[in-house]
Structure 1
Amino acid sequence: MNARSRWLLISVGLGVLLNPLNSSMISVAIARLQHVYQLDYTDVSWVIFSFYIASAVAQPVMGKASDLFGRRKIFLIGLVVAFVTSLLAPLSPSFGWLIVYRVVQSIGTSMMVAVGMAIVRIHITEKQATALSVMSIFLSGAAAIGPFIGGVLIHWWDWQAIFLVNIPFVVASFLLAWRTIPKDNPPTSVARDMSIRKWFDLIDASGILLFTVGLVALLIGLLSAKSSGHVSFGHIFLGMIGLVLLAAFVRHELKTTSPFIPLRTFAKYPAMTWVNVEFMLVNVLFYSLFFGLPSYLQMVRNVSEFHTGILMLSLGLCSLVASPIAGRWIDKSGPRPALITSAILMTFGSVWLVTLNQNSPVISVCLALAAFGISNGLNNVGMQAALFISSPKEIIGVASGIFNTSRYLGTILSSLLISIVMGDKFSAEGLRVLGIILTVIALSLVFMSRRRRE
């Protein structure tokens, strides 16, 4: 790999890591944001919901946009958007404005994720597998150390620092990308002559609108009922609107020629469908711990942000160490043994949460974190391998898009689960209930993994 390729890889990697970094740093800031804005967890959880809903929509849309407007252009615009929101978010006059900036930040960072891998694949032709593995390290490494970085920043400064820390990454990525990413080829005549209406049809703007509004309405209906402590007609009405819009979304996706989420593919390839269901459940488990445990440590056990970040580092390090080992294991034995082991580890970690109480040593949470960290490393490789086995080669691009959507849906559901279980404030009893629910989900994954056919 020549020097120019290495610098291109670094420039893209510094941009791509911003999405997982910002989605993970926030886990340590939840308790602080609750205190600053005087909100319960249910309300503050929208700082998580908003980011993942926007990412789920923006990444496939920006992938299609890059074909029309150019990958280099989309990447650089994403960096500008990330820079502006990183400056404005710390100045948010209210929590509502913070949510707005998080949504815009998610869109900006999703621009880079959507085209980063494609830029590397197209412009780095020698040692391409090595280059793509380095990109994976940027993505997984940023997610792994995000809570640690967030904890250190909040300890030494305040929650605003988790936005300002993006600026040096953005500036370095922009300067390097401007010099190293080759200019885009002129758009084809088809792309150049495409009207706004045709482009909206291409990205399935109607489907995106139905999906986003329906999901947000349903979440608001459920969370408002939980927050207020009773179910009113307004909560039911809003939830029903969400369900109706999501039903309309399903009907629309089955009929449209260019669906946002190609639901017909699920019916055609049931094995691939089950992989996505399992992957969604895996992410419900992982992110319930990822977002729930830091708030429990800070609000119930009075652990500082700094020490919470250090404890959470065991989760990321175990995941990073397990991933390459999982790759060699899966190459030799297939994904089934690794996925069964992963499900058993998550069951152990979930049961361990149930055993924790006010007198348990804080360091004992590292057992649950290690179990989930190793299982995450196994799942990152194992689920991807299972997807490749279950998906026909001619639709692997579509299958990968659906796979990422399953990840985001699992993350959104995990935050919803925490909000419903914990309600106004975190408690040891709430963590115990959460652990019981996660144990049931983990046991179902053990069953599903054992029934898997290679």
Structure 2
Amino acid sequence: MTRCALRGRPPRRADPAGFDRRLIAPMVLGSILNPVNSSMLAVALVPIGHAFGAAPPRTAWLISGLYLATAVGQPVIGRLVDLHGPRRLYLLGTALAGAAGLLGTLAPGLWVLVASRVLLGLGTSAAYPASMSLLRSEAERTGRHSPAGVLATLSICNQVVSVTGPALGGLLIGAGGWRLTFAVNVPLSLACLVLGARRLPRTTPAGVPKPRTDGAGMLLFAAALTAFVLFLMRPATAHWYLPVTGLAAGALFARRELNAREPFIDLRVLGGNAPLLATYGRQLLAYTTSYAFLYGFGQWLQEGRGLSAPEAGLLMLPMPVTAVAVTALTGRRSRPRINLVVGAVVQLLCCGALLLLHADSPAWLLVLIAAMAGIPQGLIGLANQNALYAQADPARMGSSAGLLRTSMYLGALLAAAANALVFPTGATSTGLHDLAALLLGVATAFLLVCAADRSLSRP
């Protein structure tokens, strides 16, 4: 009996031999909520800091709060998607994202704004695992290994939106101030709720025992990850108790999962899947560089180069243009190793190009660097997503996809910490050059990992 039958999925008005394309709109719209909010903030940090009198190390919590909540929430909610179906979690998550957007719009102070970002991170953690779960169930229903073009469409939209965000954020700030970058979540959430309620399949099991949820394992996982991430955000000997707490929670988590009948994360299976572990490692390295570049370049354009937020957003617009061109050329052909190696080489070139920038750098050079940065954006995320789709256990697709996003946002957290380190009082050209030197090391490690992974050459 298939998983669709076990979940009691009602018949759909779709060609049995083809993917149900009514699902594409809610899948895409829901999955872009997180990257659009992540990237819009690249040009909103400076005006938010001015509004609340906060220096970059304090406004960095707006980035870290979202990524911490997302890093913890993605695999946890992904596992709930595996157990209870995508529809319920999708609707609950997108509703929470809308509430978080409203809270951020009305926030009277910086820490309320940080709280809204945490809620936003949790709310946006549902759509991507739900989408990947739907993709896998549709592949099973249709008997096809992968629905043609749908996986590429999902990846393309996420990658393009992540680099379109700065331009959108700049336009919103120019139209009505930084609060509009939070308010935009309300109509987006409503659209997700309407589309999700109308199009996502209901899951109403009949006569099937409810699967057990490993709540203790999820709590221990969340405790371990939170402790480590909080330490990474403010590493200091005075915070020694955080890594100690993380190690203790991690040890309890491992013991729990190895002995649980229905573990949250099956460590034995995951530990034996070296290609999947390598994919998570690549995701971490790639997005450490990607997000540090995105936020560092965006802040420097405003404070080091003297541009306004709308001007900085428009100048970064070549990123999505290049990403669209790259994904259009490579999206339907699964060649993860080639795409990853090329993406890593271009990341290195982009990081090196930051060393050329100064307060009087010509506009054409800024546009060229922004355009180059779109190439790895269009290659790396899609390649890792294709690799995960082939490597993950189908029964745990939601949690596996969530862990991929966890790796991505752990990279983003490291990026936020790096930006706070090199820009202690503002985004100067000297700080940008320090960031470039740091990222050259990370991008080199990423290139070496991609070139050494022979498993990517096999189907």
Shared fold (TM-score, shorter chain, > 0.5) = yes
- Return the letter of the residue paired with 1:136: S
CA contact (8 A) 2:305 2:360 kept: no
Counterpart of 1:56, as a letter, is A
- The CA deviation at 1:431 is 0.3
Match of 2:185 among 166, 172, 179: 166
Question: Do the aligned partners of residues 295 and 383 (structure 1) sit closer, same or farther apart at CA in structure 2, a change above 3 Å counting?
Answer: same
| Structure 2 partner of 1:13 | 28
Distance 1:424 1:200, change over 3 A: same
Report the residue type matching 1:380 in the other structure. G
- Contact preservation (8 Å) 1:253, 1:260: no
Which residue, out of 151, 157, 161, partners 2:170?
A: 151
C-alpha contact 2:75 2:402 (8 A) present in aligned 1: yes
Q: How much has 1:452 moved relative to structure 2?
A: 3.6
Alignment match of 1:113 (pick from 114, 121, 128): 128
1:83 is matched with 98
Q: Which runs of 5+ in 2 are unaligned?
A: 1-12
Conserved? CA contact 1:69–1:187, under 8 Å? no
Partner of 1:26: 41
**Which consecutive residues of structure 1, in runs of 5 or more, have no partner in the other structure?**
223-234
* Matched residue, 1:231: none
Aligned partners of 2:193, 2:393: CA distance in 1, in Å?
35
Map 1:207-286 → 2, pairs under 5 A: 207-216=221-230, 218-219=231-232, 221-222=234-235, 235-238=236-239, 240-257=240-257, 268-286=272-290
Q: Cα distance 1:110–1:237, how it changes in 2: closer, same or farther (>3 A)?
A: same
Deviations 1:6-32 (A, max 9, x none): 444323432332122111111110111
Shift of 1:76: 1.8
Aligned mate of 1:204, from 186, 204, 218? 218
Question: What SS does structure 2 have at the residue aligned with 1:190?
Answer: coil
Is 1:17–1:139's contact at 8 Å kept on the other side of the alignment? yes
Distance 2:122 2:380 in 1: 26
Question: Residues 347 and 176 of structure 1: is their aligned pair in 2 closer, same or farther, counting only changes over 3 Å?
Answer: closer
Question: Which residue number in structure 2 is paired with residue 312 of structure 1?
Answer: 316
Asked if the contact 1:7/1:176 (under 8 Å) is kept, the reply is: no
| 1:440 pairs with 2:424 | no
Structure 2 residue aligned with 1:289: 293
Normalization by structure 1: what TM-score? 0.85
The one-letter amino acid of 1:100's match is A
Matched, 1:142 2:161: yes
Displacement after TM superposition at 1:254 (Å)? 2.9
Distance (Å, rounded) in 2 between the aligned partners of 1:425 and 1:190: 57
1:121-167: CA deviations, max 9, x gaps? 54696793344443334323322311111110001111110111122
Structure 1 pair 44–117 and aligned structure 2 pair: CA distance change class (3 A): same
**Shift, 1:416, TM fit:** 0.9
Q: How many residue pairs align between the two structures?
A: 431
* Number of the residue aligned with 1:352: 353
**Greater alpha carbon shift after TM alignment, 243-252 vs 404-413:** 243-252
Q: Contact 2:170 / 2:309 at 8 angstroms: preserved in 1?
A: yes
Distance change in 2, residues 1:266/1:418 (3 Å) = farther
Q: Which amino acid aligns with 1:151?
A: G
1:59 Cα offset (Å) = 1.8
SS of corresponding position for 2:359: coil
Contact persistence 2:224–2:250 (CA under 8 A): no
RMSD: 3.0
Rate the CA distance shift 1:173–1:276 in 2: closer, same or farther, 3 A: closer
Contact 2:29–2:192, Cα closer than 8 Å, also in 1 = yes
TM-score normalized with structure 2 length: 0.84
Question: Quick one: structure 1 residues 17 and 392, their matched pair in 2 at CA, closer, same or farther if it must change by over 3 Å?
Answer: closer
Moved more, 403-412 or 414-423: 403-412
Seen in structure 2, the aligned counterparts of structure 1 residues 171 and 444 have a Cα distance that, compared at 3 Å, is closer
Preserved contact between residue 156 and residue 382 of structure 2 (Cα < 8 Å):
no
Please say which of residues 243-252 and 64-73 is displaced more in the overlay. Answer: 64-73
Given the alignment, which residue of 60, 68, 71 partners 1:45? 60
Contact 2:170 2:311 in 1 (8 A): yes
Point out which structure has higher relative CO (alpha carbons under 8 A, 6+ apart).
2
Q: Distance in 2 between matches of 1:186 and 1:67?
A: 14
More helix by percentage: 1
CA shift, 1:324, in A, is 3.7
Check conservation: 2:44, 2:170, Cα contact below 8 A. Answer: yes
Cα shift readout 1:61-84 (whole Å, capped 9, x = no counterpart): 222223555432222222221222
Match of 1:381 in 2: 382
SS at match of 1:185: coil
